[in-house]
Amino acid sequence: MQYMLLIYGDQNGWETLSEQERGQMMEAYGSFTQELRDSGSMVAGDALQRTDTATTVRVRNDETLTTDGPFAETKEQLGGYYIVEAGSLDEAIEWASKIPGSRYGSVEVRPVMVFEENGS
Amino acid sequence: MGRTLAILAPALGDVELAEDAVQEACAAALERWPRDGAPANPGAWLLTTARNRAIDRIRREQTLRRKTELLAALAETEPPAEEKEDDTIPDERLSLIFACCHPALAPEAQVALTLRSLGGLTTEEIGRAFLVPEPTMAQRLVRAKHKIRAAGIPLRVPPDHLLPERVRAVLAVVYLIFNEGYGPPPRAELCEEAIRLGKVLALLMPDEAEALGLLALMLLHDARRASRLDEEGELVLLADQDRSLWDEKRTEEGRRVLDRALPLRRPGPYQVQAAIASLHLEPETDWLQIAALYKRLESLAPSPVVELNRAVAVAMAEGPERGLALMDGIDGLGDCRHLHSARADLLRRLGRGAEAAEAYDRALALASQPAERAFLERRLAEVRSSA
């Protein structure tokens, strides 16, 4: 199964880190990503820019409504994600607990929906 | 039926599908066996029939991929060659317990699912026991089973590095069921179910000292069930309970189980609490030993309530001054009426009437049960008149 690991955290936390701490964080993410790749479980993964770069789009009555900002203002924001291939929820939880961000914010684990092309 | 489900569910990785298939097989048995006579091997018959029903259902499934996966999994569940005893398939039942008590499920869903899949209770009975309407409980079960399937919660015994944490989760669910039943209000069927589940766990995990500890604890608590409440349903203090109502067989059974746990030399909170419960069932209460055990419990599972219990035991063993000193060092129980009434009692026995009255007042402000209030008011009047 594929699972999306959504990494939530306080994006302002980054600003409070020292240069050295930022370096350590980047290194931790680098080695986590490498471990995930080496295991063959990595499907995709990215970091996202801050939510003040976000734009939310809704279409109502065929009209596209665009607003500045994220879908919801929350204390913790979606800052990045991984998609992993895992045999069970337990395996996905183990990957989630290794993401450096899980020690500061939280990681939501969501199974990816599978649609069959041949629907018979 | 539980056994068939226990074999089929882990193979399919889908409790709901397995349950439906088993139910259909049982319905078929009810129709055929009276007519054609029961088969020579009823267990194998049920499994084969349930398996075939599951295959029919899978063939009707919409998604091809799921079809292929499920059919492959089913090919591996061969019916047993002959009827075997219940305990010859421990792994399947254990897998089911671990899935039902997976921490990714909400606690109330864990409890409901455990009772439904492994206990002998119907959805209606579980709903009644937890004061939830049957449709609500049914919905809770459907949601939980759906999550097991959709989120990929594995139906298996967790690997070693996850096991300690997951065993704790399973034991906690069983103890929660027991405590719900212990009340007040008491619901005997839940206590019985929890003890039955505790026995299954002790049988399936004979080396888990805490599984034995929990079973012993439940049995030893249960031994006093009949004396715990008076006719009005009010709690009776341990010291005032009618000992002739205590169940000697249960006591003995609990102590035997505890005796099996202790030589494993893996102490834990359930074993210590069982040892304390066992001492409370002695004709003469050994408060010194109980105080020592509470100290042990404090180091294994620290909590202010354990500290309070230890302080009460110390007061009984070594006098009210020592108990009072410990009580005054407890943090975080300011709103606990038990702390104030226990303090009040010690102050009363030390002849410090004014302070005792103050403590009784605080306990009264927090107490709501009529019997408890009456008791506190009586004591308050006593200390006021002698002060």
Alpha carbon dihedral B334, B338, B341, B342, in 10-degree steps, equals -100
pLDDT at A95: 98
> Closest to A118 (Cβ–Cβ): which among B64, B156, B158?
B64
Instruction: Give the chain B residue nearest A111 (alpha carbons).
Output: B151
Q: How far is CA B28 from CA A87, B17, B95, B185, B379, in A?
A: 35, 17, 27, 40, 66
Is pLDDT above 60 for B87? Answer: no
Q: Which two tokens stand for residue B112?
A: 């409901």
Choice among A20-29, B47-56, B207-216 with the minimum mean pLDDT: B47-56
- Integer Cα distance of A118 and B67 in angstroms: 12
Question: Cis peptide before A70, with omega less than 30 degrees from 0?
Answer: no
Q: Which two tokens stand for residue B126?
A: 């579980």
Whether chain A has a CB inside 8 Å of the CB on B154: the answer is yes
Residue B197 CB-density burial (10 A; 0-12 exposed, 13-18 middle, 19+ buried)? buried
pLDDT at B73: 63
Any residues with CB less than 8 A from the CB of B370 and at least 6 apart, and which?
A: B234
- Chain A: closest CA distance from residue B318 (Å): 46
Q: How far is CA A5 from CA A22, A49, A92, A103, A107, in A?
A: 22, 17, 8, 14, 6
Q: How far is CA B287 from CA B122, B244, B293, B294, B347, in A?
A: 43, 21, 10, 10, 19
- Chosen from A1, A41, A85, A89 to mutate, greatest number of chain B CBs within 10 A: A89
Most confidently modeled of A98-112, B6-20, B68-82? A98-112
Q: Which two tokens stand for residue B109?
A: 């869903």
Q: How many Cα neighbours within 13 Å face the side chain of B5?
A: 20
**Residues B60, B24 contacting (CB under 8 angstroms):** no
- Higher local confidence (pLDDT), B370 or A96: A96
Instruction: Show residues of chain B in contact with A118, CB under 8 Å.
Output: 64
Q: Which residue has the tokens 């455990």?
A: B114
pLDDT at B309: 95
Is pLDDT above 80 for B268? Answer: yes
Is B62's CB within 8 Å of A88's CB? no
pLDDT-derived band at B1, boundaries 50, 70, 90:
low
Is pLDDT above 90 for B138? Answer: yes
Is pLDDT above 90 for B31? Answer: no
Percent of chain B with pLDDT over 70: 88
pLDDT-derived band at B3, boundaries 50, 70, 90:
low
Residue B32 CB coordination number (10 Å): 14
**Residues A7, A80 contacting (CB under 8 angstroms):** yes
Kindly give the interhelix angle for B2-12 and B90-100, rounded to the nearest 10 degrees.
Answer: 70
Looking at every residue in chain B, the average pLDDT score rounds to 86
Choice among B19-23, B162-166, B337-341 with the minimum mean pLDDT: B19-23
Is pLDDT above 80 for B89? Answer: no
pLDDT-derived band at B85, boundaries 50, 70, 90:
very low
pLDDT at B80: 45
Mean per-residue pLDDT, B102-112? 91
Mean per-residue pLDDT, A56-83? 92
Is pLDDT above 70 for B228? Answer: yes
pLDDT digits (tens, 9 = 90+) for B332-363: 888 888 899 999 999 999 999 999 999 999 99
Specify which residues A45 forms β-bridges with.
Answer: A82
pLDDT at B82: 44
- Higher local confidence (pLDDT), B264 or B370: B264
- Chain B: closest CA distance from residue A54 (Å): 29
- Integer Cα distance of B90 and B92 in angstroms: 6
Residue B241 CB coordination number (10 Å): 18
Instruction: Show residues of chain A in contact with B156, CB under 8 Å.
Output: 88
Mean per-residue pLDDT, B266-294? 96
- Integer Cα distance of B70 and B33 in angstroms: 29
Measured CA angle at B342 (ends B341, B344), to 5 deg: 60
- Integer Cα distance of A88 and B145 in angstroms: 15
Percent of chain A with pLDDT over 90: 81
pLDDT at B290: 97
Chain pair A-B, CB pairs under 8 angstroms? 36
Is pLDDT above 80 for B313? Answer: yes
pLDDT-derived band at B72, boundaries 50, 70, 90:
low
- Integer Cα distance of B341 and B357 in angstroms: 10
pLDDT at B181: 86
Is pLDDT above 80 for B287? Answer: yes
Kindly give the interhelix angle for B15-36 and B2-12, rounded to the nearest 10 degrees.
Answer: 140
Is pLDDT above 70 for B40? Answer: no
pLDDT at B142: 94
Residue A109 backbone class (left: φ over 0; alpha: ψ -120 to 50; beta: rest): beta
pLDDT at B160: 87
In B175-234, the residues whose Cβ lies within 8 Å of chain A are none
pLDDT at B146: 92
- Integer Cα distance of B310 and B283 in angstroms: 20
Instruction: Give the chain A residue nearest B59 (alpha carbons).
Output: A120
In B4-63, the residues whose Cβ lies within 8 Å of chain A are 62-63
Is pLDDT above 70 for B90? Answer: no
**Residues B18, B54 contacting (CB under 8 angstroms):** yes
Global pTM reads 0.74
- Chain A: closest CA distance from residue B43 (Å): 30
Most confidently modeled of B3-12, B32-41, B195-204? B195-204
Q: How many Cα neighbours within 13 Å face the side chain of B205?
A: 26
Is pLDDT above 70 for A118? Answer: no
Whether chain A has a CB inside 8 Å of the CB on B150: the answer is yes
pLDDT at B239: 85
Mean per-residue pLDDT, B76-90? 47
Whether chain A has a CB inside 8 Å of the CB on B104: the answer is yes
Measured CA angle at B312 (ends B307, B316), to 5 deg: 140
Is pLDDT above 60 for A82? Answer: yes
End-to-end CA distance of chain B: 67
pLDDT at B251: 97
What's B81's DSSP letter? S
pLDDT at B11: 72
Q: Which residue has the tokens 């989120």?
A: B151
Specify which residues A7 forms β-bridges with.
Answer: A80, A107
**Residues B383, B348 contacting (CB under 8 angstroms):** yes
Q: Which two tokens stand for residue B13?
A: 């990785």
Instruction: Show residues of chain A in contact with B152, CB under 8 Å.
Output: 1, 3, 86-89, 92, 111
What's B229's DSSP letter? B
Whether chain B has a CB inside 8 Å of the CB on A57: the answer is no
- Higher local confidence (pLDDT), B37 or B339: B339
- Integer Cα distance of A105 and A115 in angstroms: 31
Specify which residues A83 forms β-bridges with.
Answer: A4, A44
Q: Which two tokens stand for residue B29?
A: 């048995």
Backbone angles phi, psi at A23, to 5 degrees: -60, -45
Q: Which two tokens stand for residue B11?
A: 């193979």
